[in-house]
Structures are given as structure tokens and as C-alpha cells.
């Protein structure tokens, strides 16, 4: 049994949907579950819609119309006007219509998940309908009934026992009859509200399902030939890894490598399921295989760049030393506001941390820190991480830039740059 995950770039237009079906058709006769992300940049557009609705930043209905028109254009290139999929998509979009007709009263993260999740629900409706058009027997599945989470909106924590029971109860039987098509990124609460699993969480969805079903492998189809040592849009002469160990992949995703969601690897490693990263336009290409027992001599360092960073400097109001009790309180506030620290340092009088800028979470964190500490910060920064670095590569990264923070150990160097 195989699990495939297709990202937004692979279904950004009608040709992408057609190509997805061609890839799936190569595996006729195998039990196959297909996880699909929102189309193209739909998640970004839905985030913009959410902000406009909650904060009054723009014309909500105009933004929503653009999102709908994008999808209906793809539909019109794939199907005849009377195809039932048009009604399925319209009925899915209605959920947003209902929400934005009322004033926003709920928590931002809750509203975010209810709106942004519509992208995956629509994309999978379209893909499933196209499968039928191409003679591929398929079954559309609402993943929110199978991946159960707590109420941590935007980063739902999976209830593994309940999730495993639900997946193992129904899905094996469905796979014997048809290809199963479901959504990435989404989960559901016990109150039947939608949660998301963290940005770019569709890889994690595939990993969860595969581990619960004991899949032979997971393949995530990308617009790159495999896992590279750096982003080819930023760096010349990148190299592709044919193989990586689970451990190295975990390190890369922890530091922000966007090709795989950070939580993807652990469930696969626990079940010893290999993860393949392959190009969706060249399905026969070998790509990269992540598995156990791989040893690599790194000819070039792995370079990971994270933009939109904030560097916080936190100190006691009375100029006392930063003690263990101070650190405990600070980390408690970071955890309470769901803010992850990317790199940190302590000195006698201050604690410094580099974090992703998520505006609504950052504002809450800042307000809570200022009740007991002095806080200074710089924003619009870049964090660069080099795994298996050398001095030459580190110097090239920092030349002409202002280094606000630097940290190195035997394998990894991190610099915060302005």
C-alpha cells in the first residue's frame, strides 16, 4: 500500500491536475491513498482573506471572489459546465460565505482554521472528480473524520490512539476498491471543528496515515528533483541527495528546510517507512529516499534560509542576572503563545531569541513579556543555518551583511543577518 502527497505547485492549474492523474495511473493495481494540498497559492490567498475579515484589512468579498474565480477557471478547463463537481465546489465555498456574513467574534486561530481549510477541501473535490473523468476509480474522504486533534488551532496536536483507530477501521477496506483521495494539513476536534496541523502540514498528514496503515512507502511529489543542499532559487551549483538518513532529515526540517514539514519524519522513522521526494513532472526520476542506515560525506554544507525573523532581547527590569527562574517564566510565555524559538543565547543580563514573525502571535507574546521584563527587538531579519558547514561557506553567507547573532557547534552554524 502506497501513500502519495501532492503539494500546491503540482495542482496549480488544469494541466497540473491532469499530470497528477497521469502519475497515479502509473500505479494501477496498487492500493493507493492520495493526499492533496490546496491549489497553487490558495492558502496564502485564504490567509489574506482571513486577515481582511478579522482585521478589516481590505475588501473581504473581493478577495473571496478572486479565490473562487481562480478555482472556477480551473474547473472550466477540465469539465463540462453541467458536471456535478461545480456544485460540490460551490457548496464547499458556502462555508466561508456563512462565516464572513457575521462579525468576527472568535479567536483568530480558530477563524483561521475554519477559513483556510477550505482550500484543501476544494482541491480534493476537483482532483477526485477528474479521476472519475479519466476512469480512475476513486473515493473522496474527509480527513477531519480520521485525524483527530485537540483544540490547538493552527497547530493541532494529534490524538494518536483515536486517529489510529479511525484510520484502521475504514480506510483499508476502501483501498481494496479504489484510490482514496483526501486532504492534507487538516484535522478535526471532538466538537467537529476544523484544525490545521501547521503551515505546509500536508506532508505530516501523509506520514500520519502511512504510519497508521503500515504503508510500504510515502512519496511526496515536488517541483524539485529531490532534496537539495540549498534552495536553487537562491544558490548556484546546488547538489541533490540520492539518500538521506531519518536523523539528517529531521535536523534539516527542524532548522527550517521547507521541502518537508518538520513533524513528517518521526512517525515514518518509528514505523521504518521510507519517504521518497520525487519530481511530479518526471515520475520515473529517482528523487531522494529518506530511510534508516544512510551515511553521507557532505561535499557541500546544507544551507537553510528563513526570512521574516524577529530577534528579541529580554532582560530583567531591575538589571539582575537572567536566572533559571527567569528562563522558566520566559519559556512558559513562549509556549503559552505557541511561539517556537529558532535559535537562542543567554548572557548575564539578557536572553536573546530568534523567532518567526507570526504577527498576531508575536503581539500577544510581546504584551505578555512586557508585564515582567524589558524587551527590545529587531524585525525583518534573516536566519541562515548551515549544516556540516565550513569557514569558507560561512564567510560567503555573511559577507556584506550585518551579523546580529552567531552560534556554532561541531555540525551546525546559525547566523541572524540584517
Which of helix, strand or coil describes residue 339?
coil
pLDDT, average across residues 163-172: 97
pLDDT, tens digit (0-9, with 9 covering 90-100), for 301-322: 999 999 999 999 999 998 889 9
pLDDT, average across residues 407-411: 93
pLDDT-based confidence at residue 260 (cuts at 50, 70, 90):
confident
Whether residues 259 and 357 fall in one domain: no
Please say if the pLDDT value at position 253 is more than 90.
no
pLDDT, tens digit (0-9, with 9 covering 90-100), for 107-164: 999 999 999 999 999 999 999 999 999 999 999 999 999 999 999 999 999 999 999 9
Whether residues 324 and 279 fall in one domain: no
pLDDT-based confidence at residue 228 (cuts at 50, 70, 90):
very high
CATH number at 325 reads: 3.30.2130.10
Q: Which of 39, 22, 29 is closest to 2 using CA atoms?
A: 29
pLDDT, average across residues 217-234: 93
Q: Does residue 296 lie in a domain region?
A: no
Please say if the pLDDT value at position 400 is more than 80.
yes
Q: In this predicted structure, what is the pLDDT of residue 79?
A: 98
pLDDT, average across residues 359-371: 93
Q: Does residue 240 lie in a domain region?
A: yes
Q: What is the DSSP string of 375-387?
A: EEEEEEEEEEEEE
Q: What is the DSSP string of 239-285?
A: -B-SEEEHHHHHHHHHTT-TTS-TTSHHHHHHHT--EEEEETT-TTS
Whether residues 66 and 146 fall in one domain: yes
pLDDT, average across residues 263-274: 94
| 8 Å CB contact between 389 and 303 | no
The percentage of residues in the chain with a pLDDT greater than 90, rounded to a whole number, is 87
Q: Count Cβ neighbours within 10 Å for each residue of 113-151 and write b for 16 or more, e otherwise.
A: bbbbbbbbbbbbbbbbbbbebeebebbbbebbebbbbee
Radius of gyration of the chain (CA): 22
pLDDT, average across residues 324-350: 94
Domain boundary among 267, 291, 315: 291
Give the count of alpha carbons within 13 A of 254, CB side only: 14
pLDDT-based confidence at residue 257 (cuts at 50, 70, 90):
confident
Count of domains in the chain?
2
The residues with which 204 forms a beta bridge, in sequence order, are: none
CATH number at 143 reads: 3.40.1160.10
Q: Does residue 166 lie in a domain region?
A: yes
Mean pLDDT of the chain: 95
* Domain span holding position 224: 2-291
Q: Which of 216, 220, 224 is closest to 175 using CA atoms?
A: 216
Whether residues 286 and 323 fall in one domain: no
Q: Does residue 322 lie in a domain region?
A: yes
What the block records as the C-alpha cell of 279 is 519530481
pLDDT, average across residues 230-257: 90
Whether residues 281 and 337 fall in one domain: no
Whether residues 243 and 369 fall in one domain: no
pLDDT, average across residues 213-242: 93
Q: Does residue 297 lie in a domain region?
A: no
Q: Count Cβ neighbours within 10 Å for each residue of 82-91 and write b for 16 or more, e otherwise.
A: ebebbebbee
Look-up: residue for cell 482554521? 113
Please say if the pLDDT value at position 245 is more than 80.
yes
pLDDT, tens digit (0-9, with 9 covering 90-100), for 18-35: 999 999 999 988 999 999
Whether residues 77 and 175 fall in one domain: yes
| 8 Å CB contact between 221 and 5 | yes
Q: Does residue 120 lie in a domain region?
A: yes
Whether residues 167 and 280 fall in one domain: yes
The C-alpha atoms of residue 176 and residue 330 are separated, in whole angstroms, by 51
pLDDT, tens digit (0-9, with 9 covering 90-100), for 42-81: 999 999 999 999 988 789 999 999 999 999 999 999 999 9
Q: Does residue 200 lie in a domain region?
A: yes
Whether residues 245 and 343 fall in one domain: no
Whether residues 261 and 329 fall in one domain: no
CA distances from 234 to 228, 230, 412 (A): 12, 8, 20
pLDDT, tens digit (0-9, with 9 covering 90-100), for 176-208: 999 999 999 999 999 999 999 988 789 999 999
pLDDT, average across residues 296-300: 88
The percentage of residues in the chain with a pLDDT greater than 70, rounded to a whole number, is 100
Q: In this predicted structure, what is the pLDDT of residue 367?
A: 95
Higher pLDDT, residue 56 or 218: 218
Whether residues 313 and 285 fall in one domain: no
Amino acid at each position: 500500500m502506497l501513500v502519495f502527497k501532492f503539494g500546491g505547485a503540482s495542482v496549480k492549474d488544469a494541466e497540473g491536475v491532469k499530470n497528477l492523474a497521469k502519475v497515479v495511473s502509473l500505479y494501477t493495481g496498487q492500493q493507493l491513498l492520495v493526499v492533496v494540498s490546496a491549489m497553487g497559492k490558495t492558502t496564502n490567498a485564504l490567509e489574506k482573506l482571513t486577515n481582511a475579515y478579522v482585521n478589516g484589512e481590505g475588501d473581504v468579498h473581493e478577495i473571496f471572489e478572486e479565490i473562487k474565480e481562480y478555482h472556477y477557471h480551473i474547473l472550466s478547463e477540465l469539465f463540462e459546465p453541467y458536471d456535478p463537481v461545480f456544485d460540490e465546489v460551490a457548496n464547499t465555498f458556502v462555508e466561508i460565505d456563512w462565516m464572513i456574513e457575521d462579525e468576527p467574534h472568535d479567536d483568530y486561530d480558530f477563524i483561521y482554521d475554519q477559513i483556510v481549510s477550505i482550500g484543501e477541501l476544494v482541491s480534493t473535490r476537483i482532483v477526485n472528480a477528474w479521476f472519475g473523468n479519466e476512469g480512475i476509480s476513486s473515493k473522496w474522504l474527509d480527513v477531519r473524520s480520521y485525524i483527530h486533534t485537540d483544540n490547538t488551532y493552527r497547530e493541532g496536536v494529534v490524538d494518536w490512539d483515536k486517529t489510529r483507530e479511525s484510520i484502521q477501521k475504514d480506510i483499508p477496506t476502501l483501498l481494496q476498491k479504489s484510490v482514496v483521495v483526501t486532504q492534507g494539513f487538516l484535522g478535526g476536534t471532538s466538537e467537529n471543528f476544523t484544525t490545521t496541523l501547521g503551515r505546509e502540514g500536508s506532508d505530516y498528514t501523509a506520514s500520519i496515515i502511512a504510519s497508521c496503515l503500515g504503508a510500504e512507502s510515502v512519496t511526496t511529489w515536488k517541483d524539485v528533483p529531490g532534496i537539495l543542499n540549498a534552495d536553487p532559487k537562491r544558490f548556484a551549483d546546488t547538489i541533490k541527495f540520492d539518500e538521506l538518513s531519518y536523523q539528517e532529515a529531521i535536523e534539516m526540517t527542524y532548522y527550517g528546510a521547507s521541502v518537508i514539514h518538520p513533524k513528517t519524519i518521526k512517525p515514518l522513522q518509528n514505523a521504518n517507512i521510507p519517504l521518497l521526494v520525487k519530481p511530479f513532472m518526471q515520475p520515473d526520476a529517482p528523487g531522494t529516499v529518506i530511510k534508516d542506515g544512510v551515511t553521507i560525506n557532505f561535499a557541500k554544507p546544507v544551507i537553510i534560509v528563513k526570512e521574516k525573523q524577529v530577534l528579541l532581547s529580554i532582560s530583567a527590569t531591575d538589571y539582575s542576572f537572567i536566572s533559571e527562574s527567569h528562563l522558566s517564566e520566559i519559556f512558559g510565555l513562549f509556549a503559552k503563545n505557541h511561539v517556537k524559538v529558532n535559535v537562542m543565547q543567554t548572557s548575564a543580563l539578557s536572553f536573546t531569541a530568534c523567532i518567526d514573525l507570526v504577527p498576531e502571535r508575536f503581539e500577544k507574546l510581546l504584551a505578555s513579556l512586557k508585564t515582567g521584563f524589558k524587551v527590545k527587538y529587531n524585525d525583518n531579519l534573516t536566519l541562515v543555518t548551515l549544516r556540516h558547514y565550513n569557514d569558507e561557506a560561512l564567510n560567503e553567507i555573511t559577507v556584506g551583511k550585518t551579523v546580529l547573532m552567531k552560534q556554532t557547534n561541531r555540525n551546525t552554524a546559525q547566523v541572524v543577518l540584517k
